Amino acid sequence: MTSIRQNSSSPSSSRLPNFRNLGVWLRILLSANGLAALVTLAGNRQWLALSGELALASASVEPPLIASLLLLHAVQRLLERLPYRAGAALVLGIALSCTAGMQVVGIAPEAFGTSSGNLVRALLWTGLCTLALLIYFDIRARLQSPALAEARLMALTARIRPHFLFNALNAVLGVIRTDPQRAEAALEELSDLFRVLMRDSRELVRLSDEIALARQYLDLERLRLGERLQVKWDVAACPPDALLPPLMLQPLLENAVYHGIEPAERPGEITIGLARRGDQLLIEIANPLEPGRLPHAGNQMALDNIRERLMLFYDLEARLETEVDDGEADNPGRYVTRIVLPYRRGTTS
Amino acid sequence: MSAVPLRLLIVDDEAPARARLRNLLADIAAELPNAVAGEAADGVAALEFLTDPANLPVDVVLLDIRMPRLDGIELVQHLASRASTPAVIFTTAYDQYAVRAFDLNAIDYLLKPVRAPRLLAALKKLPHALPDAAALRSLAPEGRMHLHSSERGRILLVPIGDILFLRAELKYVTARTRGREYLVEESLTHLEDEFGERFIRVHRNCLVARTAIVGVERDHSADGEGHWQVLLRDVAEKLPVSRRQWPQIKALLKEDA
């Protein structure tokens, strides 16, 4: 089982950030440099000298900062076992000793003055900066406590377009007299789909399950759209045991059908590409774009929903982007949605 | 109950949805004699069907809203300019905006999946006329996206944005696009009312798309005094400006400059 935050078990790690997470590194680097820039700006007396001072500040902040992050990365497992206070103290200790070490060795340029007090000044700055970041991560962790995150996930996944449900039911009613078996199959698919929609959605699911669900959904849509809906899967380069948050594909396909197939006069093709590249999983869904019709606001709701869920599951390590490929005269453009998320393997059980 | 069966046209882009309505109509035939005159998969096909005299009369159109090419609302806008029109009952799966507009304008509609008693009730109290101009405006605030032109039984859609000018000639109005001309069976006055934002009158018989005008020049060939004519992008034709319209054209050119 993979819970949405790997660090939700012990009290310490739920409040300290995971120093092996790229997003955490990014936040720390940006805020430390931001704070240094602010301090420099406040201390600046000559406008023309500012750019030089900023460069110097950045050069003196970077070496101890990176050294601390590397050390923290190394002791992450230990940090997870410590109680919060001890963990926070260890983080502070590492930051301070890295700063002191750099100053003694003389790697860091002396942005904080050349007098004998510069070591104290640098330590004071490092200490305050570390405390500020610890408080920030603590507040952030509280805001995203598992209970809150779960509640938000529940609210986020329980959505499906009523348009789809009523049209699907209408299609089943339309074929029930002429083709009872097809109607039967469609109702089975519909109930499978809704079982997943109403399921607890806090846990990652296997990609193969997600693909099966998407196929069922598309099969339902084919009942009412017939030949107008063409689908091309490209899943050869994709490990079926990869894990991803539930209901990533289906809402995107629903969007693709609603905006790319339903308004089109001629049959259109939806392409679904899934691939693993290194430690990333790539999902790409494309649908034809009606000439003269731009993807409109209705599209945005499903995308925002998926973005928010990716954020809850992976923080900054996953992203979703969309793109319009302009077409030529007889080749309509395509609307492409891409998701990149960290590749995680499921257990084979 | 009248002995003459009600003749209906079913318009929906989804085959099972049309089948469903056909089934229901058969179910209620004992109580309300009816016959399905035809089916159409989108607004253009419906317009073609209703243009062919052999298919008429059609008393009622059961009309889906969301369809390719020409949607249900725009189809009604096209029908509105005709002399005799069938009654229209909209069908929709779920479109909260359209539904709100229908309620506001007291326009009858059926929610899909449609149920037989509801269909029967709607057919028994048929509306006498299409939604009026005000109701149509609130259903589709941006107005029609196309004009239609009928050629040998086929309906051609002409996107409003492609039209460079509209000119009245004898009985018809011709719509000129970059590639060709289309005959449109509507009056120039009516078109000016509907698309006044987009087109400007240059002459008693001619409306020009404001964005298509690139300049003016004086034509001396006709008589000594000469008159102004409008130059257009993409086509070589020059359109004479009447003395009466000249001040408006001049103002427009000044705005652009």
- Return the residue of B nearest to A221 by Cα: B14
In a domain, B151, yes or no: no
In a domain, B226, yes or no: yes
In a domain, B73, yes or no: yes
Q: Mind telling me how many Å the CA of B176 is from chain A's nearest CA? A: 19
Q: Which of A14-18, A270-274, B62-66 has the lowest mean pLDDT?
A: A14-18
pLDDT of residue A158: 53
Q: Quick one: average pLDDT of A100-127? A: 72
Q: How far is A12 from A80, CA to CA, in rounded Å?
A: 6
User: Do the chains contact at A167 and B93, CB–CB below 8 Å?
Assistant: yes
- Of A195, A193, A175, A194, the residue nearest A184 (C-alpha): A175
Q: What share of chain B is helix, strand, coil (3-state, %, to 5)?
A: 30, 30, 35
Q: Mind telling me how many Å the CA of A261 is from chain B's nearest CA? A: 9
User: What is the C-alpha end-to-end distance of chain A, expressed in Å?
Assistant: 11
Q: Are B70 and B41 in contact (CB under 8 A)?
A: no
Say which DSSP state B114 is in.
Answer: P
> Do B188 and B87 share a domain, yes or no?
no
> Do B66 and B179 share a domain, yes or no?
no
In a domain, B244, yes or no: yes
User: Do the chains contact at B16 and A163, CB–CB below 8 Å?
Assistant: no
* CATH code at A150-342: 3.30.565.10
Q: How far is A326 from A98, CA to CA, in rounded Å?
A: 52
In a domain, B146, yes or no: no
> Do B26 and B69 share a domain, yes or no?
yes
Q: Quick one: average pLDDT of B95-110? A: 77
Say which DSSP state B12 is in.
Answer: -
> Do B187 and B245 share a domain, yes or no?
yes
Q: How far is A218 from A229, CA to CA, in rounded Å?
A: 9
CATH of the domain at B181: 2.40.50.1020
Q: How do residues A24-51 score in pLDDT, each as one tens digit?
A: 889 999 999 998 898 888 888 888 888 8
Q: How far is B197 from B141, CA to CA, in rounded Å?
A: 13
Cis bond leading into B113, ω under 30°?
Answer: yes
Q: Mind telling me how many Å the CA of A135 is from chain B's nearest CA? A: 46
pLDDT reading at A114 higher than 60:
no
pLDDT of residue B39: 97
> Do B123 and B197 share a domain, yes or no?
no
Q: Are A243 and A279 in contact (CB under 8 A)?
A: no
What is the band of A103 on the pLDDT scale with cuts at 50, 70, 90? confident
- Return the residue of B nearest to A183 by Cα: B16
What is the band of B255 on the pLDDT scale with cuts at 50, 70, 90? confident
Q: How many domains does chain B have?
A: 2
pLDDT of residue A3: 41
Residues of the domain holding B218: 158-256
pLDDT of residue A5: 44
pLDDT of residue B33: 95
At which of B79, B107, B139 does a domain end?
B139
Residue B93 has its nearest CB partner, among A170, A175, A223, at A170
Whether B66 contacts chain A with CB within 8 A = yes
> Do B133 and B189 share a domain, yes or no?
no
Whether B39 contacts chain A with CB within 8 A = no
Q: How far is A296 from A21, CA to CA, in rounded Å?
A: 35
Q: Are A256 and A298 in contact (CB under 8 A)?
A: no
Name the pTM for this structure. Answer: 0.74
Q: Mind telling me how many Å the CA of B30 is from chain A's nearest CA? A: 19
User: Do the chains contact at B42 and A262, CB–CB below 8 Å?
Assistant: no
pLDDT of residue B8: 96
- Residues carrying CATH 3.30.565.10, chain A: 150-342
pLDDT of residue A234: 94
pLDDT reading at B110 higher than 80:
yes
Q: How do residues B15-70 score in pLDDT, each as one tens digit?
A: 999 999 999 999 999 999 999 999 999 999 999 999 998 998 999 999 999 899 99
pLDDT reading at A220 higher than 90:
yes
CATH of the domain at B11: 3.40.50.2300
Q: For an interface test with B, give the residue of A159, A161, A169, A170 to mutate (most B CBs within 10 A).
A: A170
Q: How far is A341 from A22, CA to CA, in rounded Å?
A: 12
Q: How far is A125 from A112, CA to CA, in rounded Å?
A: 9
Q: How many alpha carbons fall within 13 Å on the CB side of residue B56?
A: 9
> Do B115 and B176 share a domain, yes or no?
no
Q: At what angle do helices A118-143 and A22-43 cross, to 10 degrees?
A: 130
DSSP assignment of B21-41, as one string?
A: HHHHHHHTTTTS-EEEEEEES
pLDDT of residue A348: 55
pLDDT of residue B224: 60
What is the band of B209 on the pLDDT scale with cuts at 50, 70, 90? very high
pLDDT reading at A255 higher than 60:
yes
pLDDT reading at A269 higher than 90:
yes
> Do B109 and B205 share a domain, yes or no?
no
User: Do the chains contact at A167 and B23, CB–CB below 8 Å?
Assistant: no
> Do B34 and B132 share a domain, yes or no?
yes
Contacts B26 to A, Cβ<8 Å? none
In a domain, B209, yes or no: yes
User: Do the chains contact at B16 and A170, CB–CB below 8 Å?
Assistant: yes
> Do B239 and B121 share a domain, yes or no?
no
- Cα separation values, B136 from A173, B5, B10, B104, B131, Å: 31, 29, 21, 11, 6
> Do B121 and B60 share a domain, yes or no?
yes
In a domain, B201, yes or no: yes
User: What is the C-alpha end-to-end distance of chain B, expressed in Å?
Assistant: 67
Q: Mind telling me how many Å the CA of A235 is from chain B's nearest CA? A: 30
In a domain, B177, yes or no: yes
pLDDT of residue B163: 95
